[in-house]
Amino acid sequence: MDIVSLPRFEQLVGEALDAVPDGLWEHFDNVVVLVEDRDEQEPELLGIYEGIPLTERDDYGGAMPDVIRIFRIPICEMCEDEQDLIDEVYITVVHEFAHHLGIDDDRLHELGWA
Protein backbone atom coordinates (compact mmCIF):
# COMPACT_ATOMS: atom_id res chain seq x y z
CA MET A 1 0.00 0.00 0.00
CA ASP A 2 1.17 3.56 -0.63
CA ILE A 3 2.04 5.87 2.23
CA VAL A 4 -1.11 7.81 3.10
CA SER A 5 -0.98 11.55 3.66
CA LEU A 6 -0.32 12.92 7.11
CA PRO A 7 -3.83 14.44 7.40
CA ARG A 8 -5.45 11.11 6.44
CA PHE A 9 -3.28 9.18 8.89
CA GLU A 10 -4.04 11.67 11.67
CA GLN A 11 -7.73 11.18 10.89
CA LEU A 12 -7.32 7.40 11.28
CA VAL A 13 -5.55 7.86 14.62
CA GLY A 14 -8.38 10.16 15.75
CA GLU A 15 -10.95 7.57 14.73
CA ALA A 16 -9.02 4.88 16.62
CA LEU A 17 -8.99 7.07 19.73
CA ASP A 18 -12.72 7.69 19.33
CA ALA A 19 -13.24 3.92 19.26
CA VAL A 20 -11.60 3.40 22.66
CA PRO A 21 -14.41 2.41 25.04
CA ASP A 22 -15.71 5.24 27.22
CA GLY A 23 -14.92 3.33 30.43
CA LEU A 24 -11.23 3.45 29.58
CA TRP A 25 -11.18 7.19 28.85
CA GLU A 26 -11.50 8.00 32.54
CA HIS A 27 -8.00 6.49 32.91
CA PHE A 28 -6.48 8.57 30.12
CA ASP A 29 -4.59 11.06 32.28
CA ASN A 30 -1.96 13.65 31.33
CA VAL A 31 -0.99 12.03 28.03
CA VAL A 32 -0.82 13.36 24.47
CA VAL A 33 -0.95 11.38 21.24
CA LEU A 34 1.35 12.46 18.42
CA VAL A 35 1.71 11.23 14.87
CA GLU A 36 5.24 11.14 13.47
CA ASP A 37 6.69 9.70 10.28
CA ARG A 38 9.19 7.30 11.83
CA ASP A 39 11.27 6.70 14.95
CA GLU A 40 14.85 7.68 14.12
CA GLN A 41 16.45 5.01 16.31
CA GLU A 42 14.04 2.17 15.54
CA PRO A 43 12.65 2.89 12.06
CA GLU A 44 10.37 -0.17 12.01
CA LEU A 45 8.67 0.76 15.30
CA LEU A 46 4.90 1.27 14.93
CA GLY A 47 4.30 3.19 18.14
CA ILE A 48 5.79 3.97 21.50
CA TYR A 49 4.61 5.10 24.92
CA GLU A 50 6.92 7.45 26.80
CA GLY A 51 6.01 8.31 30.35
CA ILE A 52 5.06 6.98 33.74
CA PRO A 53 2.32 4.33 33.58
CA LEU A 54 -0.71 4.96 35.79
CA THR A 55 0.23 1.94 37.92
CA GLU A 56 3.58 3.54 38.81
CA ARG A 57 2.48 7.08 39.59
CA ASP A 58 2.96 8.13 43.19
CA ASP A 59 4.09 11.73 43.55
CA TYR A 60 3.12 12.78 40.04
CA GLY A 61 2.01 16.40 40.44
CA GLY A 62 3.45 18.89 37.97
CA ALA A 63 4.85 16.24 35.63
CA MET A 64 5.08 16.82 31.91
CA PRO A 65 2.47 14.90 29.92
CA ASP A 66 3.20 11.33 28.89
CA VAL A 67 3.46 10.87 25.12
CA ILE A 68 2.12 8.21 22.79
CA ARG A 69 3.81 8.38 19.39
CA ILE A 70 2.23 6.61 16.42
CA PHE A 71 4.54 6.19 13.41
CA ARG A 72 2.88 6.65 10.03
CA ILE A 73 5.41 5.28 7.54
CA PRO A 74 6.13 1.84 9.08
CA ILE A 75 2.43 1.25 9.67
CA CYS A 76 1.61 2.15 6.07
CA GLU A 77 4.48 0.00 4.77
CA MET A 78 3.20 -3.11 6.52
CA CYS A 79 -0.41 -2.77 5.34
CA GLU A 80 -1.79 -4.19 2.11
CA ASP A 81 -4.92 -2.06 1.84
CA GLU A 82 -7.03 0.60 3.54
CA GLN A 83 -8.78 -1.84 5.87
CA ASP A 84 -5.44 -3.27 6.99
CA LEU A 85 -4.31 0.28 7.70
CA ILE A 86 -7.43 1.10 9.73
CA ASP A 87 -7.04 -2.12 11.73
CA GLU A 88 -3.32 -1.65 12.36
CA VAL A 89 -3.72 1.96 13.47
CA TYR A 90 -6.39 0.86 15.96
CA ILE A 91 -4.26 -2.03 17.25
CA THR A 92 -1.24 0.25 17.65
CA VAL A 93 -3.24 2.95 19.46
CA VAL A 94 -4.76 0.37 21.84
CA HIS A 95 -1.34 -1.22 22.40
CA GLU A 96 0.29 2.08 23.41
CA PHE A 97 -2.75 3.16 25.43
CA ALA A 98 -2.42 -0.13 27.34
CA HIS A 99 1.16 0.76 28.24
CA HIS A 100 -0.17 4.05 29.67
CA LEU A 101 -2.47 1.93 31.84
CA GLY A 102 0.50 -0.14 33.02
CA ILE A 103 -0.06 -3.24 30.89
CA ASP A 104 3.24 -4.69 29.65
CA ASP A 105 4.00 -6.43 26.33
CA ASP A 106 3.79 -9.94 27.80
CA ARG A 107 0.27 -9.31 29.06
CA LEU A 108 -0.72 -7.67 25.77
CA HIS A 109 0.47 -10.79 23.93
CA GLU A 110 -1.67 -12.93 26.25
CA LEU A 111 -4.65 -10.69 25.49
CA GLY A 112 -4.04 -10.86 21.72
CA TRP A 113 -2.99 -7.22 21.30
CA ALA A 114 0.57 -7.78 20.12
Domain of 16, CATH number, reads 3.30.2010.20
Does residue 59 form part of some domain? Answer: no
* Higher per-residue pLDDT: 99 or 11: 11
Q: Which residues have a Cβ under 8 Å from the Cβ of 78 and sit 6 or more positions away?
A: 46, 84, 88
Stated length of the chain: 114
Q: Which residues have a Cβ under 8 Å from the Cβ of 99 and sit 6 or more positions away?
A: 49, 53
In this predicted structure, the answer to whether residue 35 has a pLDDT above a threshold of 80 is yes
* Higher per-residue pLDDT: 82 or 21: 82
Q: How far is CA 60 from CA 24, 28, 29, 66, in A?
A: 20, 14, 11, 11
Domain count, the chain: 1
- Please, which pLDDT band fits residue 64 given cuts at 50, 70 and 90? confident
Does residue 1 form part of some domain? Answer: no
Sign of CA dihedral 104, 43, 76, 5: positive
% of the chain with per-residue pLDDT over 90: 60
Q: What is the pLDDT of residue 22?
A: 80
State pTM to two decimals: 0.90
- Please, which pLDDT band fits residue 9 given cuts at 50, 70 and 90? very high
Please give the residue range of the domain that contains residue 41. Answer: 6-54+64-111
What span, in angstroms and rounded, lies between the C-alpha atoms of 9 and 91?
Answer: 14
